[in-house]
Structure 1
Amino acid sequence: MKTIGIIGAMNIEIELIKNKIIIEDERKYAGFIFYIGKYKGLNIILTSCGIGKVNAASCTQILIDRFNVTEIINTGIGGSLNKKVGLCDIVISENVTYHDVRQTQMKTYFPFKEFFTANKQLVEIAVKAYENMSPKEYNYHIGRIVTGETFVCEDELKEKIISRYNPYCVEMEGAAIGHVAEINEVPFIIIRSISDNADDNATLNYDEFEIIAANNSAMIILNMLDLISISEFR
């Protein structure tokens, strides 16, 4: 049976999911709290990893080593780096990479990859999960998500990242989660809903749309779990 690891960076990003699953136990490792539960027959390990790449990577490895998760879903919010991607839209990862690590370094040293590719089946499930939602008050996009150790809120930095990586959105954990998942051969997907435009007005947008975006992403995850549970027990 599948055991699905679900990671959010902040508590607000997992709160809606936490309220929907049946929590059977809690465990704490390395400061992270892991909620062990069930959702429509699926085994779920839900956790909040905190902000940043090191926290995200550490938490992901614990999910793999301690709980033997069969796939990893990362939910949360991000900043738009594409004119097509509006506030509260959903971005589904095609692949993820770091915007604050030189690409030559990633290619030259382990794991010898410029980016980490999301599982195609999970991407298909995410798209179907969106299509099953009603009403649809925002759009979805499939593309590259970039990660770095900074909250991008300056036009100049935003344009530099766009010119180098052509991404759809930016955040602070996804590539670390994808990195750890891929080297452990665990399928993963990163889902983000847009809280801001990663520009000079990002802080104002973030304060207004943070909770809405977090819940938008969580709803996609719950719809994905519905679809996975149907497939698992068919």
Structure 2
Amino acid sequence: MDHTLSLLPFLFIIIISSFHVLPVSPTPSHKLKSATTIRKLNRGGPYIGLVTVIATEENAFLRSVDFRPDPTHPFLDLSGRRFRIGKIHGKKVVYVRCGRGMVNGAAATQQMIDVFNVKGIVHFGIAGNMNNSMSIGDVSIPKQITNAGLWDWLNPDKAKGGEDIAYLDVGNYNVPKGDGDNELGSIGYNYEQLYSVTGHINTPQNVFWINTTQEWLHLAADLEKMELSQCVNASLCLPKKPKLVVGLKAATAYIFVDNAAYRNFLYDTFGVSSSDMESSAVAMTCASNGYPIIVIRGLSDLAGEGGDNTVHKFGSLAATNTAKAVLEFIRKLPPY
């Protein structure tokens, strides 16, 4: 008898037995349920992705628009966020509140792109005003956005050069003004590294400005004629009617800018008219994935002039005007 063959039943038992001691990691039932729901929803797409930031903006948006929830799956909860599915002006939309900051903005946008069948992203919220020709309550739809928080903080004796695109010399703002020397040195503004579907694999492109989608900006141009709200209530109104402007520039950073000197530096150096904490991250995520993006931001304060108190007074008005602009933009989008 072949002894090799005689050992086969024994080996077979060992192999079968080993299956019983291997760790088992079944897919949680809630993930399977979500996957099933996502497949059903995506068969009914594509959708317009809507991304806002904080509760003030969400409340103004849901209060201002005729949002018709999907009758079967009105929302889907993923990673602690609630993605609302429905229609606005007959257009299918997926809406989410991402939370404050660039990480939240990028994470929620990437998740929306990965999970849902979306054709593009409309990102909106409130922002600080950097431009003296703009006013509280105005709405800006920028053509370009930069990450103004990507810094090289240099020592005062550090020679300028390298890849930094601009410098903020802290000593220039000494009070009383001296020779400009200051131990805080200077801040060199640097580039983002953009990985994109249109670029070479693993070879990022150095970019300072992220462009929003030109075709969508053309659609938004007609919104400059729309009427925006002037009053928070009967006793609290702005001195003049707000306006909507398309084609300015915006800055994003993990900074609430409440300093007039820094506001003026940003405007004079980069020509930015608004500052927020999410827009460039959302726009960069869309550019990386090759999706259309438009950013709509209502101005709630003039940085360094009233600061947090102004935001508390007029933040809801800025959010309401932003929501009105988003609604009108959705109305103008062609059906998919």
| TM superposition score normalised by structure 1 | 0.91
- The one-character-per-residue Cα deviations of 1:162-189 (angstroms, maximum 9, x if unpaired) are 2332101101100000000000000101
- The one-character-per-residue Cα deviations of 1:114-138 (angstroms, maximum 9, x if unpaired) are 1111111211222223424478831
Which residue matches 2:257?
152
Q: 1:8 aligns with which of 52, 59, 80?
A: 52
Residues 129 and 227 in structure 1, CA contact (< 8 A), matched pair in contact too: no
Which residue matches 1:97?
146
Please tell me the residue identity of whatever aligns with 2:208. Answer: E
Residues 6 and 74 in structure 1, CA contact (< 8 A), matched pair in contact too: yes
Which residue matches 2:225?
131
Residues 79 and 152 in structure 1, CA contact (< 8 A), matched pair in contact too: yes
Residues 164-183 of structure 1: matches in 2 within 5 Å? 164-183=269-288
Please say which structure displays the higher CA radius of gyration.
2
Q: Give the 3-state SS of the residue equivalent to 2:95 in structure 1.
A: strand
Is 1:85 paired with 2:131?
A: no
Structure-2 change in CA distance of 1:196 and 1:135 (3 Å): closer
Report the CA distance between 1:93 and its aligned residue: 1.1
Residues 147 and 174 in structure 1, CA contact (< 8 A), matched pair in contact too: yes
Residues 140 and 248 in structure 2, CA contact (< 8 A), matched pair in contact too: yes
Report the CA distance between 1:26 and its aligned residue: 1.1
Which residue matches 2:192?
106
Q: Give the 3-state SS of the residue equivalent to 1:190 in structure 2.
A: strand
Residues 60 and 316 in structure 2, CA contact (< 8 A), matched pair in contact too: no
Report the CA distance between 1:147 and its aligned residue: 0.3
Please tell me the residue identity of whatever aligns with 2:57. Answer: E
Residues 14 and 75 in structure 1, CA contact (< 8 A), matched pair in contact too: no
Q: Give the 3-state SS of the residue equivalent to 1:214 in structure 2.
A: helix
Please tell me the residue identity of whatever aligns with 1:139. Answer: K
- If asked which structure has higher relative contact order (CA below 8 Å, sep 6+), I would say 1
Q: Give the 3-state SS of the residue equivalent to 1:54 in structure 2.
A: helix
Is 1:17 paired with 2:17?
A: no
Point out the structure with the larger helix share.
1
Structure-2 change in CA distance of 1:184 and 1:17 (3 Å): same
Please tell me the residue identity of whatever aligns with 1:106. Answer: E
Which residue matches 1:211?
316
Report the CA distance between 1:42 and its aligned residue: 1.2
Report the CA distance between 1:71 and its aligned residue: 1.0
- The one-character-per-residue Cα deviations of 1:7-54 (angstroms, maximum 9, x if unpaired) are 111122133433421112211222221101112321101111110000
Residues 18 and 46 in structure 1, CA contact (< 8 A), matched pair in contact too: no
Residues 22 and 39 in structure 1, CA contact (< 8 A), matched pair in contact too: yes
**Which ranges of structure 2 fall in alignment gaps of 5 or more residues?**
1-44, 152-188, 195-202, 231-240
Structure-2 change in CA distance of 1:199 and 1:134 (3 Å): closer
Structure-2 change in CA distance of 1:134 and 1:201 (3 Å): closer
Report the CA distance between 1:61 and its aligned residue: 0.2
Which residue matches 1:118?
212
After superposition, the CA RMSD in angstroms is 2.1
Aligned residue pairs: how many? 231
Report the CA distance between 1:202 and its aligned residue: 1.3
Segment drifting more, 197-206 vs 45-54: 197-206
Residues 155 and 200 in structure 1, CA contact (< 8 A), matched pair in contact too: yes
- The one-character-per-residue Cα deviations of 1:85-108 (angstroms, maximum 9, x if unpaired) are 111111111111111114544269
| TM superposition score normalised by structure 2 | 0.64
Q: Give the 3-state SS of the residue equivalent to 1:55 in structure 2.
A: helix
Whole-Å separation in 2 of the counterparts to 1:49 and 1:7: 7
Q: 1:48 aligns with which of 74, 91, 97?
A: 97
Q: Give the 3-state SS of the residue equivalent to 2:206 in structure 1.
A: coil
- The one-character-per-residue Cα deviations of 1:42-76 (angstroms, maximum 9, x if unpaired) are 11011111100000000000110011311111111
Hey, which bits of structure 1, 4+ residues long, moved more than 6 A? none
Whole-Å separation in 2 of the counterparts to 1:158 and 1:132: 28
Q: Give the 3-state SS of the residue equivalent to 1:17 in structure 2.
A: helix
Please tell me the residue identity of whatever aligns with 2:255. Answer: T
Identity, in percent, stands at 22
**Which ranges of structure 1 fall in alignment gaps of 5 or more residues?**
none
